[in-house]
Amino acid sequence: MNNFYYKIMRWFEGRYGIDNLFYLLFCFSAVLAIINIFLRLIYLQIIVYALVIYAVFRALSKNIEARRRENETLENLVIKIKRKRENTILRKQDKTHIYKKCPYCKAVLKLPRIKGNHKTVCPRCKCEFNVRVYKE
């Protein structure tokens, strides 16, 4: 029995193992599987299997660098989402300014919060556009 355990341990050596992306894939496939109990769609079932197979493939993969990069991409995405949420909260708390996205270059402009219709010029692309402020 000890020899068997040792062989299994040896087989797992040098493989990538479990990371956050593994947990995400597994949880997502579990949620889809639970939803599919009610929907009973063959396509959804195939997606569930594919996610599980991909998660297991990643855990057993020997290409550690590629798996690490995939996980890093996920973690960067999570950081980006968190930062965006923090920015939204901070902007909502700002009582003296509003934040508007330029419709042409998508730059976010910080403008004084003065009620009414205003014309503003984007400092980045120099395009002029209207801004309506509803409340001070």
Chain residues that interact with Zn ion, rule: CB under 5 A? 102, 104-105, 107, 122, 124-125
Closest distance of CB 95 from Zn ion, Å: 25
Closest distance of CB 108 from Zn ion, Å: 10
Closest distance of CB 124 from Zn ion, Å: 5
Closest distance of CB 94 from Zn ion, Å: 20
Q: What is the DSSP string of 13-59?
A: TT-----HHHHHHHHHHHHHHHHHHHH--HHHHHHHHHHHHHHHHHH
Residues in the chain: 136
User: Count of alpha carbons within 13 Å of 31, Cβ hemisphere only?
Assistant: 6
Select 56 or 111, whichever has its Cβ closest to Zn ion: 111
Select 11 or 104, whichever has its Cβ closest to Zn ion: 104
User: Count of alpha carbons within 13 Å of 131, Cβ hemisphere only?
Assistant: 24
Residue 41 tokens read as: 């769609």
Select 31 or 105, whichever has its Cβ closest to Zn ion: 105
Select 116 or 123, whichever has its Cβ closest to Zn ion: 123
Residue 134 phi/psi, 5° resolution?
A: -85, -40
